[in-house]
Structure 1
Amino acid sequence: MAQLRFTWLCVAALCAGGCGSGDEPGDTGAPGTSATTTTTTTTSQGSTGTGGTGGNGQGGTGGGAATTTVVVNEISAKGGDWIELGNPGPGSADLGGLGLCDADDTGQCNPTDALMFPEGTQLAPGEYLLILGDQAAEAGPGPHTTCLPEGGPSSCFYVTWKVSASRGETVGIISPNDQVLTELEYPIEAAADGQTWGRLPDLTGEGTVTAPTPGAANAAP
């Protein structure tokens, strides 16, 4: 009897370290291990398109990654330095907190000199926004009422950089955390004097040689 009692005591001591099976509640892994689940959210970004499909095309960071329906629609690098943005819709787009950048020496977006749009900058469906390049830093980003000397909208923004026709550049719209949402490449010597590089069809097509139409729908030269 003493020997049997001793055997039971040994079994009890061994089970104190855990005799449960993998069917115990909360045990979702192999016996003796705990399972950990990590969820990773991946956000895709457009390179030449609309850069997102979020509901009404609102830009912002609340509750998720920033998106925008606004596109870089037309670039002038000869005979005047300017960039035109456009909103193909279907809803109004909020550019507040988003930025506009050109490429650095590596061909990547340069957020250091990016134009950051102030809160309340809105683009209705089918509306355009003009940005003048090669402007003095002390003038500030705007909006300004001194824009192109002939034609074009009466309101615009300023950037200090300019698009290089000789080496080609990419202009992009970025989120508050510098993620490129959408962009348009201006190839090397893409357009001749008196021509621009823009999307055809207007707001939705790929880049091609266009006639200068700042603040209006793109057209073939």
Structure 2
Amino acid sequence: MITTLRFTMLFAAALCAAGCGSDDEPAGSGTPGTGATTSSQASSGTGSGSSSGSGGSGSGGTGTGGDVTTTVVVNEISAKGSDWIELGNPGSAAADLGGFGLCDSDATGLCNTGDALRFPEGTELGPGEYLLVLGDQAVEVGPGPHTTCLAEGPSSCFYATWKVSASRGETVFLISPNDHVLNQLEYPMEAAADGQTWGRLPDLTGQGGVTAPTPGAANAAP
């Protein structure tokens, strides 16, 4: 009896040496809930809520990947008559826009990155300053900066090959060098009449509304 019992105990111990455990234990060794995913684009949305607000509070070009932030906002859009977009910097420091992009929305409402205007290295926007982008320009001319701009606007501007559709309505996105959406402003369908634009009110910080055209200057009600 004793010999048989010892043999049984030794046999059980040998089996547990290969690994014994509860059936309730997870099979994997990883800790659930510790992973993170990052989306390269944000939906354009349909309203003028917080999604069209400032993309961050830091100076432009800080960090990498999803950590890139900027104080620069899409501030005003002209989609009737002259086609242009104005960026503004409400921050207290200059914002580096080198490698950043500006794009309109594609058929799905997301940033059309393939046709995005890419700002050259060294492009900066000082605190409280504005930057003008003319739309519907020839691709071979390049992004700029150019000195052939609007007669009533700043003497320096950039060129984009696309234009914002007033009849369809679109969203304009400011994106990081690796295509993360940092800021956006929606131009609703038929948002403004001839001789009017769509911009942030109050200037640089508010939501979109009908504005008087003020390229390179603070937004104003019509």
Report the TM-score when normalising by structure 2. Answer: 0.83
Q: Which shifted more, 112-121 or 8-17?
A: 8-17
Q: Which residue number in structure 2 is paired with residue 40 of structure 1?
A: 35
Q: Deviations over 1:60-92 (max 9, x none)?
A: 552753222211100111221100001110332
Moved over 4 A (4+): 19-22, 29-34, 42-46
* Structure 1 contact 60–98 (Cα < 8 Å) conserved: no
Q: Distance in 2 between matches of 1:40 and 1:33?
A: 18
1:34: how far off?
5.0
Q: Distance in 2 between matches of 1:63 and 1:100?
A: 17
* Structure 2 contact 186–208 (Cα < 8 Å) conserved: yes
Q: Which residue number in structure 2 is paired with residue 100 of structure 1?
A: 102
Q: Can you give the 5+ residue segments of structure 2 that lack an aligned partner in the other structure?
A: 43-49
Q: Match of 1:142, as an amino acid?
A: G
Over alpha carbons, which structure has the higher Rg?
1
- After superposition, the Cα gap between the structure-2 partners of 1:13 and 1:33, relative to the gap in structure 1 and judged at 3 Å, is farther
Pairwise mapping of residues 31-180 of structure 1 onto structure 2 (< 5 A)?
A: 33=27, 35-38=29-32, 39-41=34-36, 47-53=51-57, 56-62=58-64, 64-148=66-150, 150-180=151-181
Q: For this pair of structures, how many residues does the alignment match?
A: 211
Q: Which residue number in structure 2 is paired with residue 16 of structure 1?
A: 14
Provide the secondary structure at the position in 1 that maps to 2:158. strand
Provide the secondary structure at the position in 2 that maps to 1:47. helix
Q: Distance in 2 between matches of 1:141 and 1:16?
A: 73
- After superposition, the Cα gap between the structure-2 partners of 1:8 and 1:104, relative to the gap in structure 1 and judged at 3 Å, is same
Q: Which shifted more, 122-131 or 173-182?
A: 173-182
Q: Distance in 2 between matches of 1:138 and 1:31?
A: 63
Q: Match of 1:5, as an amino acid?
A: T
Q: Distance in 1 between matches of 2:156 and 2:166?
A: 25
Percent identity over the alignment is 68
Q: Deviations over 1:136-192 (max 9, x none)?
A: 0000111112211x1211211101111111111111112233332211111122112
Q: Distance in 1 between matches of 2:184 and 2:125?
A: 17
Q: Distance in 1 between matches of 2:76 and 2:121?
A: 23
Provide the secondary structure at the position in 1 that maps to 2:16. coil
Q: Can you give the 5+ residue segments of structure 1 that lack an aligned partner in the other structure?
A: 23-28
Provide the secondary structure at the position in 2 that maps to 1:13. helix
1:16: how far off?
2.4
- After superposition, the Cα gap between the structure-2 partners of 1:193 and 1:32, relative to the gap in structure 1 and judged at 3 Å, is closer
1:41: how far off?
3.1
Q: Deviations over 1:22-81 (max 9, x none)?
A: 7xxxxxx9568553115233669662011234xx23235527532222111001112211
* Structure 1 contact 47–181 (Cα < 8 Å) conserved: no
* Structure 2 contact 117–143 (Cα < 8 Å) conserved: yes
Q: Distance in 2 between matches of 1:68 and 1:12?
A: 68
Q: Distance in 2 between matches of 1:32 and 1:105?
A: 44
- After superposition, the Cα gap between the structure-2 partners of 1:89 and 1:163, relative to the gap in structure 1 and judged at 3 Å, is same
Q: Distance in 2 between matches of 1:170 and 1:85?
A: 14
